[in-house]
Amino acid sequence: MTTGDIQVPSKDLRHAGTLVLGVGNSLCGDDSVGPCLIEILAKRSLPPGTRVEDAGLPGWGLPSSLEGWSSVFLVDAVDIGLPAGSWRRFRLEDVKLWLQDENFSLHQADLACGLALAQALDRLPEHLYIYGVQPAQTNPGEPLSPQVSACLPGLADQIILDLGKKQYDTKANPHC
C-alpha cells in the first residue's frame, strides 16, 4: 500500500524518505492496529517522500523491508502494561527485545526477532521509532476493540505531526 507522492520509491528516494510500517495480523483483534492505522494514513495527506505500508507479519523479511530507509516508523500492538488504547512512542535503544528462545521458530518470527536480526546485520535505519499500542485482546476472529479503535485518529494525527518534523526528540513528546 502506498501513499504520499510516490508509488514505488526509487533507490535514491528510499534513502531520503520515511517509511511507516504497520505490523500485525488483521485477523487477530487488536493485533490489527498496525494495518488499521496504515489504512487511515493512506487516506491522509502526508509529507513528500513518505511511504506507508501494511507489512502484515514480516518475520525474517523485516530487515529487507527496513533496508534503505533513513527513517522508519513502526506501528504495532505492544503490551506496555497500560489501559487498552494507550500508546507510546519509543526507540529501539529504549527497550529490551525479548526473544522467545523456547519457541524460536523460523515459521513464526515475531517483530522482536525481525528487529534483532536487523540489528545483528546492522540494517536498522538511522531513525527508528516504534509506536506501540496497548491491546485489549488479540484473539483470532475478534474485531478491533472499542478502546483501540478510539485511539486511532489521535495516533494518526501524532504520526503525521512527527512525519513533518525535521528533528525527532522522543524526550520532548509526552507519549514517549
Partner 1 sequence: MTKRIDVHHVTRVEGHGNIYVEITDGKLKECRLDIVETPRFFEAMLRGRPYIEASHITSRICGICATGHATASLRATERALGVELTKQTQLLRKLTFHGEILDSHVLHVYMLVAPDFLGVGSVIPLATSHPEVVLRALRMKKLAGDICAVVAGRHTHPIAMTVGGFTHFPTTSELMALRQRLVDSREDCEATVELASQLPWPQFERDTEYISLHKPDEYAFIDGDIISSDGPQLQAERYQEVTNEFLVPHSSAKHTKFQRTSYMVGALARFNNNFAQLHPRAKETAAKLGLRPKVTNPFLNTAAQVVEIVHCVEDAILVIDKLLSLNVEPEMPAPVTLKECSGVGVCEVPRGMLIHHYWINAEGTLTGANCIIPTNQNLANLEADMKALVVTILDKPVEAIQHNLEMLVRAYDPCISCSVHVLKIEPRSTL
1 touches partner 1 by CB under 8 A: no
63 touches partner 1 by CB under 8 A: yes
Sheet holding 50-56, edge to edge: 50-56, 18-23, 71-77, 127-133, 87-91
CB of 121 to partner 1, least distance (A): 5
Sole binder of partner 1 in the list 12, 79, 93, 101 (CB under 8 A) = 101
CA–CA separation, 62 and 29 (whole Å): 22
Nearer to partner 1 (CB atom), residue 103 or residue 167: 103
Sole binder of partner 1 in the list 79, 83, 93, 103 (CB under 8 A) = 103
Sole binder of partner 1 in the list 1, 2, 15, 120 (CB under 8 A) = 120
Using CB under 8 A as the binding criterion, the count of chain residues that bind partner 1 stands at 19
CB of 34 to partner 1, least distance (A): 17
36 in Cβ contact with 4 (< 8 Å): no
159 in Cβ contact with 20 (< 8 Å): yes
Nearer to partner 1 (CB atom), residue 93 or residue 169: 93
CB of 11 to partner 1, least distance (A): 13
CA–CA separation, 89 and 133 (whole Å): 9
With CB under 8 A as the contact rule, which of the stretches 17-25, 56-64, 78-86, 145-153 interacts with partner 1?
56-64
Sole binder of partner 1 in the list 2, 82, 94, 104 (CB under 8 A) = 104
The DSSP annotation for 62-89 comes to HHHHHTT-SEEEEEEE---SS-TT-EEE
Query: What distances in angstroms separate CA 107 from CA 62, 104, 115, one per listed residue?
Result: 14, 9, 16
Residue 83 amino acid letter:
P
Q: Which residues bind partner 1 (CB under 8 A)?
A: 60-61, 63-64, 99, 101-108, 113, 116-117, 120-122
